Each structure stands twice: as C-alpha cells, then as structure tokens.
Amino acid sequence: MSLETDIKQKKFRNSYQKLSINLKYTSNWLGYREMDLFKEHDLTSQQYNVLRILRGQSCSGVKVSDIAERMLDKNSNASRLIDKLLAKNLAKRTSCPNDRRAVDVVITDEGLALLEAMEPALLEIETSLSEALTEQEADQLCTLLDKLRKSE
C-alpha cells in the first residue's frame, strides 16, 4: 500500500514533508515486526540493541557511555537498560581498573546464545525484505538515507 492510503492523507505540503512522514511510518512498521520477535525472548528493542553493541566488542567490554553513544535511541537510559540485562544474566559489569568512574560491560555466554537463537528469525525478516527490494535498491535506499542526514 502507498503511504497515502495507509494513513489516509491525500495531500502533503511538499516532497519533504511526505518523506518525513513516510520515514517515520516505515521505521515504525519495521519496528513492530521486530518487536514481536523481541517479545518472544523477553527483550525490548532497546535491550536487543545494547546486546548487539556488546557482541560487537565482546572481547574487550564497552563503557556505559560508549553504549549510550552508539545506541539508535539516544535518549535511552543505558544504565537502567544494563540493569535489566544484568538481572537476566545476559551481561555483566566489571569495574574498569584505570578509571574508576567507568564501568565496563561485557556480554555473557548466555547473552551471546540468546542473540544466536534470535538470528534465524531476524534473517527471515531480512529475507522477506529481499522480496520487496533488490539488493541494489536496498543499498540505494541506504545511500539516500545517509545523504539525508547530511543536512544541518
């Protein structure tokens, strides 16, 4: 369905307003698809996001402030998100010896296993996207999104 019929709005002020609305709508649309999967594993999408970041640095551990910086949703409270992961044994905190303000967070084996377990379903979502867009189109979309963010 086109955006117009989806949200029942016929006219837009200009191409950029339409783009803004479409971008948010499509991002939410995809978010809801993933959310079902996250819920099955008792994760929020933010918690998953943190786990993914931790896996990317699983050897060394990541400071809380670095996690916050890399998160897609900048306003999230990384400290509390990590509390949740801790409570589920998906991550662990280790105080950083050379800077006692900092806290290194590391993903546990259990956390890695959870990500592993979710992989097939995520791949399935990605495969379904590949039915709609060719790889070239997906790359092109990415390039346009990157370009959009260049504006001040």
Partner DNA sequence: ATTTAAATCATGTTTCTACATTAAATGTAT
Partner DNA sequence: ATACATTTAATGTAGAAACATGATTTAAAT
Residues of this chain that bind DNA (CB under 7 A): 35, 39, 44-46, 63-66, 68, 73, 75-84, 93, 96, 98-103
Shortest Cβ 37–DNA spacing (Å): 12
Among residues 83, 31, 75, 82, which one has the least CA distance to residue 54?
A: 82
Which of DNA, a copy of itself, none binds 70 (CB below 5-8 Å, type-dependent)? a copy of itself
Rounded to a whole number of angstroms, the minimum distance from the CB of residue 14 to a copy of itself is 6
User: Closest separation between CB of residue 102 and DNA, Å?
Assistant: 4
Question: What does each C-alpha distance from 110 to 43, 75, 120 come to in angstroms?
Answer: 14, 27, 17
Considering beta carbons, is residue 72 or 142 the nearer one to DNA? 72
Residue closer to a copy of itself (CB basis): 71 or 86:
71
Binds 37, which of DNA, a copy of itself, none (CB < 5 to 8 A, cut-off by type)?
Answer: none
Q: Can you tell me which residue has the tokens 């999104």?
A: 145
- Contact residues toward a copy of itself (CB under 8 A) are 1-3, 6-9, 13-32, 34, 53, 56, 69-70, 72-75, 122-123, 125-133, 135, 137-142, 144-152
**Nearest Cα to 36, choosing from 125, 127, 138?**
125
Written as six digits, the tokens of 124 are 């399935």
Q: Least Å distance between CB 77 and DNA?
A: 5
In the chain, the N- to C-terminal Cα span, in Å, equals 32
Task: Give the angle subtended at the CA of 127 by the CAs of 45 and 132, to the nearest 5°.
Answer: 105
Q: What is the 8-class DSSP label of residue 28?
A: H
Identity at 13, one-letter amino acid code: R
Task: Pick between residue 45 and residue 57 the one whose CB is nearest to DNA.
Answer: 45
